[in-house]
């Protein structure tokens, strides 16, 4: 399974960079994951940049108005994609203005992490942690409860 996070904007602060590296390292035994950063501009142009980097497979747009899932439900969703033989999953994170309608329309799933709005850098870390948690659940390996 290959995963690609396509995110608008760079991770600027050192503490977010450290957190991202921490989870990327922990995810490496479970999946091939690359991160593509798209330049921050207006959401329509950002959207074109995002869509140009889709790597096929299934596309998930992170949006606070999207579908909520528990960590167990996300793990089951991911496991179902693996069982179906889905080769790759794109995870899209917007910038300060959010995602364009083109990107939302192109997505197979719009996923909410919470009803609250998070800064995009934090949303990236939350996604990485939940993906790591999902693999631990799928593999039935111990992790924090
Ligand atoms: C600062 S938020 C954008 C807020 C923008 N006003 C909007 O309506 O989408 C930046 C990005 O982080 C992600 N994000 C922030 N909070 C989220 C949440 N609760 N659930 C899912 N994604 C979230 C989304 O991808 C969003 O496009």
pTM (two decimals): 0.97
pLDDT tens digits, residue range 11-35?
999 999 999 999 999 999 999 999 9
pLDDT tens digits, residue range 66-116?
999 999 999 999 999 999 999 999 999 999 999 999 999 999 999 999 999
The reply to whether 33 falls in a domain is yes
Nearest CA to ligand 1 atom 15: 118
Structural domain boundaries enclosing 32: 2-138
In this model, does residue 144 exceed pLDDT 80? no
Across the range 116-141, mean pLDDT stands at 97
* Cα(16)–Cα(73) distance, integer angstroms: 26
Ligand 1 centroid to 118 CA: how many Å? 6
With a 6 Å cutoff on the Cβ, whether 101 touches ligand 1 is: no
The reply to whether 97 falls in a domain is yes
The reply to whether 127 falls in a domain is yes
- Ligand 1, atom nearest to 116 Cα: 19
Strand order in the sheet with 32-38: 32-38, 2-8, 88-93, 58-68, 109-112
The tally of domains found in the chain comes to: 1
Give the CATH number, domain containing residue 54.
3.40.1280.10
The reply to whether 107 falls in a domain is yes
Across the range 42-71, mean pLDDT stands at 97
Asked if 9 and 41 touch (Cβ cutoff 8 Å), the reply is: no
The reply to whether 143 falls in a domain is no
């Amino acid at each position: 399974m290959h995963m690609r996070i396509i995110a608008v904007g760079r991770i600027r602060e050192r503490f977010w960079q450290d957190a991202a590296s921490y989870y990327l390292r922990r995810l490496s035994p479970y999946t091939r994951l690359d991160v593509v950063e798209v330049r921050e501009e207006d959401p329509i142009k950002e959207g074109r940049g995002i869509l140009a980097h889709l790597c096929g497979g299934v596309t998930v747009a992170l949006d606070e108005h999207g579908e909520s899932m528990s960590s167990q439900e996300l793990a089951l969703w991911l496991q179902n994609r693996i069982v179906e033989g889905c080769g790759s999953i794109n995870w899209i994170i917007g910038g300060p203005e959010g995602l364009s309608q083109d990107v939302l329309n192109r997505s197979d799933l719009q996923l909410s992490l919470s009803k609250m709005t998070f800064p995009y850098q934090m949303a990236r870390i939350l996604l990485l942690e939940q993906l790591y948690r999902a693999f631990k659940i799928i593999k039935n390996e111990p992790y924090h409860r």
